[in-house]
Amino acid sequence: MTSSITVHRPTRFVPHPSWGPKTTALVRALRSAAQRSTFEMTPVQTRRLLERIAWLAPRVSGIRRTDARVGGVPATWYLPSGHRGPDARVLMHLHGGGFALCSQRTHGTMVSELATAAGARGLLPRYRLAPEHPYPAALDDCEAAYVGLLASGVHPSRIILSGDSAGGNLVVSLAVRLREAGIPLPRALVLLSPWVDLTASGVSVDSNACYDYVTRPILDRFAELYAASCDPTSPELSPLRANLRGLPPTLIQVGGAESLLSEGCEFAAKARAAGVQVSLQKWEGMVHAWQGYSFALPDARDAIAEVGRYVHRLYGARAAIEQRPIPTLAPAFAGPTRSRR
């Protein structure tokens, strides 16, 4: 018997009260594209489309990009000027995309910006994607890249492990796996709109469905592609259910209008209860993984700057760092939005 996928009618789109017209236009476009690409295109077709669009994103100046293999995993280094020495800290970022989409092309700008803000070398492993390579392929690749980074001589205290959306899931699952294996943990974790529960049990999946471009049918679809025949409630697939004791200090950023708001907050509470030092930042009116839209959203640039401040505080540097200007793309989306502050 073959399984079938039930496609639910999407909830009617409603602009968030904090949005201006340009943010509304951006989210409306993202929502329409997410719906069409999930249910009318194959993952391979969607990857090609995203990579074509990604070429339009502004490049961050002062960054040298180098392809490499780290622990046998293809990866790209993003090296800001002044942070290329062997003792420089490393921000290893695990990209989102529902475990099935995205690459160094779609996330290169984000990693460049995060690395620049954090005063670090950026590293983006290109882990294998579902459905061709379901769980645990992506997590195995991320583990191999991290261990390879240690083997290259980078001290774990100089590593920041970050991830957005599904990449946040991989960050937590990797940290738990490393802890269980007795492998030294990174200095800190940074989770941007983390998707840590593949069952989408959080109340905001429904309460924010009218705002966000990531909705329950989309989450269900990508969870199915990644988990395949495995139980999506297992701790390595849904690390919200994992034992979080002993994890490094963790920064979590969630959007007030995103579908994964409640599970990000629940994860923060569970991590705190396990003794983890947690900093939770909630950004009013922001949708899922808004940090990736710095070309259009001032709040995205502010959120990346907050990651930089957090990292600098960890290492004892001054908390207030200068945020370099980020070039603006697509004038239609370039106007101001209402900030959380």
Compute and round to an integer the Cα radius of gyration of the chain.
Answer: 19
Beta bridge pairs of residue 279: 251
- Which of 103, 162, 165, 193 does the annotation list as catalytic? 165
CA dihedral (281, 285, 289, 291) positive or negative: negative
The DSSP 8-state label assigned to residue 184 in this structure reads P
User: What letter would DSSP give residue 241?
Assistant: G
How far is residue 191's CA from residue 163's CA, in Å, rounded to a whole number? Answer: 5
Angstrom distance (rounded) from CA 217 to CA 167: 19
Catalytic residue status for 288: yes
83, 95, 107, 288: which is the annotated catalytic residue?
288
214 to each of 35, 87, 126, 174, 208, how far by Cα in Å?
Answer: 8, 39, 23, 24, 10
Residue from 113, 143, 258, 306 carrying the catalytic annotation: 258
- Clarify whether 107 is annotated catalytic: no
- Rounded to 10 degrees, the C-alpha dihedral 120/126/127/133 comes to 160
> For residues 160 and 188, is the Cβ–Cβ distance under 8 A?
yes
Q: Do 192 and 162 form a contact (C-beta atoms < 8 A)?
A: yes
DSSP code, position 279: E
Residue 218 has which token pair? 């989309």
- What letter would DSSP give residue 119? T
* Active site (annotated) includes residue 165: yes
Catalytic residue list: 165, 258, 288
